[in-house]
Every structure is written in C-alpha cells, then in structure tokens.
Amino acid sequence: MNIETAVKTITEAIKKDESFKESYKANIAMAFKDEYARKRKEKSNINYSDIHEIANNAADNFLELWCK
C-alpha cells in the first residue's frame, strides 16, 4: 500500500466512522492538554510563542504515540 492510498483510507474512515473520528480527536486534544500542563509547570504566563511550542510538541507526541 502506498502513502496516498493509506491516507485516503484513514480519511474515509474518519469521515464515515464517528467513533473512530472521536478517538483521533481525543488523542490529539490530550496530546495538547498534556503538553500545556508540562509548560504550565515551567511558567505561569503562557504567551503566543509558548502556544506555538506547545502545539508543535503536542503534534510530535501524538505522532510518536500513533507510530508505536
């Protein structure tokens, strides 16, 4: 299976299966929430630059968990 086919398969599954979509949504949201909590331990005031860092770290965390 090539990447294009795999992406189309996942995209169609997300469109058709609400519980599958919700599971991805929950995992993405929790990756962001966890990373935000880590950052809040470091500093109390979160700024735009921090949000950018948090979002990128959360995306990395999500993909690492997904690819295990």
pTM to 2 decimals? 0.79
42 assigned to some structural domain: yes
pLDDT tens digits for the chain (68 residues)? Answer: 799 999 999 999 999 999 999 999 999 999 999 999 999 999 999 999 999 999 999 999 999 998 88
Q: What pLDDT is attached to residue 17? A: 96
55 assigned to some structural domain: yes
Q: What pLDDT is attached to residue 68? A: 86
Alpha carbon distance 56, 62 (integer Å)? 10
Q: Which domain holds residue 66?
A: 25-68
Question: Helices in 1-68 by DSSP H: which ranges?
Answer: 3-16, 18-42, 48-66
9 assigned to some structural domain: no
Number of domains in the chain: 1
